[in-house]
Amino acid sequence: MKAVILAHAELFDPVRLGTQWAAMKGLPLPDALHEARQWWGILGENMAEEDARRTSEAWAKAGVGCRVIEMAKLAALPPPAPAAGLSRQATSCVWRLRNGQSASTDCKEWAVISAFTYQEEDRRVFKPAEGPSPVEKVVSAGLFMATGLPIRIGQKKKDAEVRRKPGETVSCLDILGGAPLGRWRIEAAAFDYSCLGAAKQYSALLNYSVLLKDLTGAAPQALRSRGARIVLEKKPMTEMEYPSLEAAERELRWLVTLSRLPPEDPSHA
């Protein structure tokens, strides 16, 4: 089975792609835009070879370069290693991880730098079931022994109550690279920015932007996510919000896959 992916990291623009998709398929624009916002660089999966080829050719006629690859070539992502801080030399970086360990990486081996913001999913909070206290249980047992009647003291046990908290906005920066593939994650609000030295700013989001610029400068060969380009181009941060963490993960799969494909590969597998 085949997958169809965009051929270049800069090509993912959901509005442009959705508009073209509406024209290609004769779809209402809102429907086409909705579809385009689900792609994140991967335009089709588990496709028959002929269907994938026709899809790629149709996009080529619209001026959008694609590549047809085997499904097995779509990258699998390792879980992220949450970073608490880092120290960087000219061409290397030492990550200080939240679990107390450290990891050293060569910036020249970084394949993808991704910046993204998303709304954390609502979290369920379970309220423990309530009922008679231990003392009340002893009193009830004593009354039963004295009277022979099942007299209960205290409130009846209640079912666990579930409350939902609204999601929070989370800004992340993921670095992927090396062999085997490693993945390090910076959460803007939970990172020590002392590595920035005199460039350190007064807020986490400003430091997040400064750090992104510094890291992309250290690894110019790394592909950049749509969110990273938005930040580096100093566009409004609201434009870099992803609909979900899964969307950011899908884009990462696409970019890591692109980084592994030789540039001389033809646009079909």
Q: What is the DSSP letter of 78?
A: P
Query: Which residues are paired to 268 by β-bridges?
Result: none
- Give the pTM: 0.80
Query: Which residues are paired to 126 by β-bridges?
Result: 162
Q: Is the pLDDT of residue 95 over 60?
A: yes
Q: Is the pLDDT of residue 158 over 70?
A: no
Q: Over range 149-173, report the average pLDDT.
A: 61
Which residues are CB-contacts of 119 (< 8 A; sequence separation ≥ 6)?
A: 167, 168, 169, 170, 241, 244
For residue 110, being part of any structural domain is answered with yes
For residue 22, being part of any structural domain is answered with yes
Task: Say which residue, 148 or 160, is predicted with more confidence.
Answer: 148
Whether the CB-CB separation of 28 and 22 falls below 8 Å is answered with: yes
Residues 138 and 29 placed together within one structural domain of the fold: no
Q: Is the pLDDT of residue 73 over 80?
A: yes
Residues 87 and 189 placed together within one structural domain of the fold: yes
Residues 158 and 171 placed together within one structural domain of the fold: no
Q: Looking at the 3D structure of the chain, how many domains does it have? A: 3
On average, the pLDDT of the chain sits at 85
Q: Is the pLDDT of residue 130 over 60?
A: no
For residue 268, being part of any structural domain is answered with no
Q: What is the structure's pLDDT at 139?
A: 56
Residues 207 and 101 placed together within one structural domain of the fold: yes
Residues 43 and 134 placed together within one structural domain of the fold: no
Structure tokens, 55: 């899809």
Q: What is the CATH number of the domain that holds 18?
A: 3.30.1390.10
Q: For the chain, percent helix, then strand, then coil, each to nearest 5? A: 40, 25, 35
Segments forming the whole domain that contains residue 55:
2-73
Residues 174 and 97 placed together within one structural domain of the fold: yes
Domain boundary (11, 44, 73) is at 73
